[in-house]
Structure 1
């Protein structure tokens, strides 16, 4: 975010700049010494946020701010001043000021105000990302492998911004499938700081697999799973949807309050099974749970992993058992998958010609295409009818 701060007090201006730069290293913070009336024209484009720190403001100052707000409607304004009367606050609001803060400025309050503006700006300027949840019908199904490698495919092959949250909170190891980096933080450590959650905190807590594929790891200590509550999932997904095209969830095997809250918010749920009787039986039980949760049938998309046309149980047998079509099959290529997992390298990077890689690329292409079609929205549909 591009921020410009103006104050006639040089010491105060230095402190404001320090607070703002501490919030996020990705923000561009410019400072202008002087009074509001000395504010120059924004020749190279207005900032996203204008912070005016001036002890006393008069009617001319508010008129000037109202003119600026009209000229630059996308620019948010924060005032820091000693005036805090209801009448002044009402006048400031009418002038287009987003927030009025008392002086001296409190650093935590300023960062919180900037975070609110940044969140609202992100929310209003981009389509919300889609949430895709992967859950095992039975242990060893390959759900983590598919979730992590699909995330890489969406990022590398389709140029999408992708986040993956490892919600297998007790025994998750999703980051190991695609990276050898040691996670700096986890879902649990972010949950412990949920009161200061913003894009900067989230980004800094994630493993950067590629510039546009990030993984938030499960905690190393299984007991820390108790630190993550359903409302934390709400906050994480609300923020991640604003900054990523796709948010992938590795749910794991268990169903509890946290995983159910995540599944509730998912746009698509992918139960992962294999074509064997134990998987089919447990998959049917899982679908019964989904029905009891009132999930729409079109939200559930079954994927058969390690599929082989020569298996004893055919794809048609699976579809008859579930009473629904299989959404996708992922071919069996054990050697390539094992090498990928053992080396912690995405299979598309390690063996691009593997049938697994091709199936994941095809799935990523389909999901990215569906997302692009939805983002065109109501205006495109109207124009198509015209």
Structure 2
């Protein structure tokens, strides 16, 4: 028995919490978290390296427990054991929880010795923490792009990044999601797709390969664009688990997810999926006020991002003769410097108004040239995982 294992319990019922503490008899430390605070549960599992999570069932709203189970268990696979804890054993709910990813169900009031023995067996059979961490790295394929201020346009950079990576890695399946989309446009491009991200949140059980193939057409070979606006009701703490489930399902179908995160919903997105991002790009103008705003936002997100998430600063609309100089901006923000992109206003306007990617313009764009040079020098080009899923849901044999 590894007494260094930390257990996580998602439970609101004080009676269940009290029974569980007595049943464990101090053999393992346990961290309790409320069911409404899914993001904290996810952070606890990540931060503690926990391999065992218990989710208590609310008899008045059993569906909430199912959403939490799916959100925790599905992306982790065999690396995390999730069990339910219920006051009464309901076979219909037990079947649903197993389909969501639960391995077992503890009935409150069961003899403590039996509970401890079952937990010990699960932990014995689970992968070692080091192996678990290595496997989890393969799930981190998300690049988040956001800005320090609503006046900074991160949409064009996220859009251009998706096209540039698509050209550099034509075999990788890429999804670019725009949370600042408008009714007719994903990023600055015409969008005729019937599918929206709000649809996925409301009907996550229908999200599979066939839906992607039929309802989300390719803009370019292996590149799809998705409108990612969320209603006020969807962008709430109660929907964290739904968001995480949908993103986890998309991760199984794409090699890279590039998400443009509007500043107005950045806290919600970072809290929900920040732990599973491999990159976070903060876009600012070369303005001191923006540097301070960026630093404050990044500091507020520190506990919601994985320790190895690469955070970087991108200066947009940068002129070499301007002030402040790059080193001052980098020092003020406090993260690695990715590079700078020029204003190139005429080409930006032409691309935005024509609904064309910059590289499709009839004339050369300084912005596009600088972006390509920036990516060649950075490690954005590195493959986020060894196997590609470009041909389907599961990684293909090498």
Measured against the shorter chain, the TM-score band is: 0.5 to 0.7
What secondary structure, in the 3-state scheme, does the structure 2 residue paired with 1:164 have? strand
Distance (Å, rounded) in 2 between the aligned partners of 1:293 and 1:136: 17
| Cα pair distance change 1:156/1:248, threshold 3 Å | same
The question of whether the paired residues in 2 share the 8 Å contact of 1:348 and 1:357 is answered with yes
Q: Which residue of 2 aligns with 1:180?
A: 190
- Measured against aligned partners, the alpha-carbon deviations of 1:268-304 in whole angstroms (never above 9, x if no partner) come to 1111111012211211211221234465375211111
Q: Report the Cα offset of residue 203 of structure 1.
A: 3.8
Q: Report the Cα offset of residue 312 of structure 1.
A: 1.9
Distance (Å, rounded) in 2 between the aligned partners of 1:354 and 1:288: 35
What secondary structure, in the 3-state scheme, does the structure 2 residue paired with 1:191 have? helix
Distance (Å, rounded) in 1 between the aligned partners of 2:140 and 2:214: 20
| Cα pair distance change 1:176/1:319, threshold 3 Å | closer
Does 2:325 match 1:314?
yes
Pick one of 201, 208, 212 that aligns with 2:222: 212
| Cα pair distance change 1:192/1:276, threshold 3 Å | same
Q: Report the Cα offset of residue 132 of structure 1.
A: 0.3
Does 2:175 match 1:163?
yes
Q: Report the Cα offset of residue 226 of structure 1.
A: 4.9
The question of whether the paired residues in 1 share the 8 Å contact of 2:140 and 2:276 is answered with no
Q: Whose helix fraction is larger, Structure 1's or Structure 2's? A: 1
Q: How does 1:287-326 map to 2 (within 5 A)?
A: 287-293=298-304, 295-296=306-307, 299-326=310-337
Unaligned segments of structure 1, at least 5 residues:
1-112, 114-123, 377-386
What secondary structure, in the 3-state scheme, does the structure 2 residue paired with 1:375 have? coil
Q: Which residue of 2 aligns with 1:370?
A: 382
Does 2:349 match 1:334?
no
The question of whether the paired residues in 2 share the 8 Å contact of 1:172 and 1:252 is answered with no
The question of whether the paired residues in 2 share the 8 Å contact of 1:176 and 1:344 is answered with no
| Cα pair distance change 1:196/1:323, threshold 3 Å | closer
What secondary structure, in the 3-state scheme, does the structure 2 residue paired with 1:261 have? helix
The question of whether the paired residues in 1 share the 8 Å contact of 2:184 and 2:190 is answered with no
Q: Report the Cα offset of residue 183 of structure 1.
A: 2.9
| Cα pair distance change 1:289/1:223, threshold 3 Å | closer
Q: How does 1:16-35 map to 2 (within 5 A)?
A: none
- Measured against aligned partners, the alpha-carbon deviations of 1:125-175 in whole angstroms (never above 9, x if no partner) come to xx6572100111111312111111110111134313210122348x68761
Q: Report the Cα offset of residue 240 of structure 1.
A: 2.4
Q: Which residue of 2 aligns with 1:141?
A: 152
Q: Report the Cα offset of residue 347 of structure 1.
A: 0.5
Distance (Å, rounded) in 1 between the aligned partners of 2:248 and 2:304: 21
| TM-score, reference length from structure 2 | 0.55
Q: Which residue of 2 aligns with 1:196?
A: 206
Q: Report the Cα offset of residue 195 of structure 1.
A: 1.8
The question of whether the paired residues in 2 share the 8 Å contact of 1:184 and 1:205 is answered with yes
Distance (Å, rounded) in 2 between the aligned partners of 1:206 and 1:140: 30
Does 2:277 match 1:266?
yes
Unaligned segments of structure 2, at least 5 residues:
1-98, 100-134, 388-398
What secondary structure, in the 3-state scheme, does the structure 1 residue paired with 2:301 have? helix
Q: Report the Cα offset of residue 197 of structure 1.
A: 1.7
What secondary structure, in the 3-state scheme, does the structure 2 residue paired with 1:209 have? strand
| TM-score, reference length from structure 1 | 0.57
Distance (Å, rounded) in 2 between the aligned partners of 1:292 and 1:238: 20
Q: Report the Cα offset of residue 217 of structure 1.
A: 0.5
Q: Which residue of 2 aligns with 1:239?
A: 249
Q: Which residue of 2 aligns with 1:230?
A: 240
Larger of the two Rg values belongs to structure = 1
Q: Which residue of 2 aligns with 1:282?
A: 293
Distance (Å, rounded) in 1 between the aligned partners of 2:363 and 2:380: 19
- Measured against aligned partners, the alpha-carbon deviations of 1:248-278 in whole angstroms (never above 9, x if no partner) come to 0111103343442122221111111110122
Aligned CA RMSD, in angstroms, stands at 3.1
